[in-house]
Amino acid sequence: MDPSVVGDAILGALAAGALDGAKNVGKSALADAYAALRNAIKRKYAHHEEVTEALEKVERKPKSAGYAQVLAEELQSSGASGDQELVLQASELLELVSSLAGDSNGGQIAHGNNIAQADRQSTASVTIHRRTE
């Protein structure tokens, strides 16, 4: 598995868990799954201070693209993005978030680059222009 994909899954789970966990306090399964992932990262990567600091910043400001980028970089450089235990926990959390989002009046969760999302019979697209030199 591509390590950057793994890092995206962990970051996506953290961001989704932080956002939805804060909004849906009554959904204890989500809160528990998020806490388990967060605690596993803090326990296993406590010696990588940059990882735990970046995680705490994302938790404080989960919508910050800058903090998300730093966390992704720290997960990658520490090796956490290749940690299969964390990948499994992140995947399970993302599945839970997706299933809970399906219970509402709509909601979309997307993580990564160059994403277009459409809702209610609309369309979306992404066009990427690369400069040629």
Query: Please, which pLDDT band fits residue 25 given cuts at 50, 70 and 90?
Result: very low
111 pLDDT higher than 70: no
pLDDT at 30: 75
pLDDT in tens, 51-73: 999 989 988 888 888 988 898 89
**pTM, two decimal places:** 0.64
Number of Cβ within 10 Å of residue 93's Cβ equals 27
Interacting residues of 61 by C-beta distance below 8 A, sequence separation 6+: 67
- Residue 31 and residue 80: Cα distance in Å, rounded? 21
Please check whether residue 41 is in contact with residue 51, taking contact to mean a CB–CB distance below 8 angstroms: yes
pLDDT in tens, 84-97: 888 888 888 777 77
One-letter amino acid for residue 91 of the chain: S
Number of Cβ within 10 Å of residue 112's Cβ equals 11
| Mean pLDDT, rounded, of the chain | 74
Helical H segments across 1-133, by residue range: 3-23, 28-44, 49-60, 65-78, 84-102
105 pLDDT higher than 50: no
Work out the average pLDDT over 104-123.
60
Please check whether residue 51 is in contact with residue 11, taking contact to mean a CB–CB distance below 8 angstroms: no
pLDDT at 110: 60
Please check whether residue 75 is in contact with residue 10, taking contact to mean a CB–CB distance below 8 angstroms: yes
Rounded percentage of the chain residues whose pLDDT exceeds 90: 13
40 pLDDT higher than 50: yes
19 pLDDT higher than 60: no
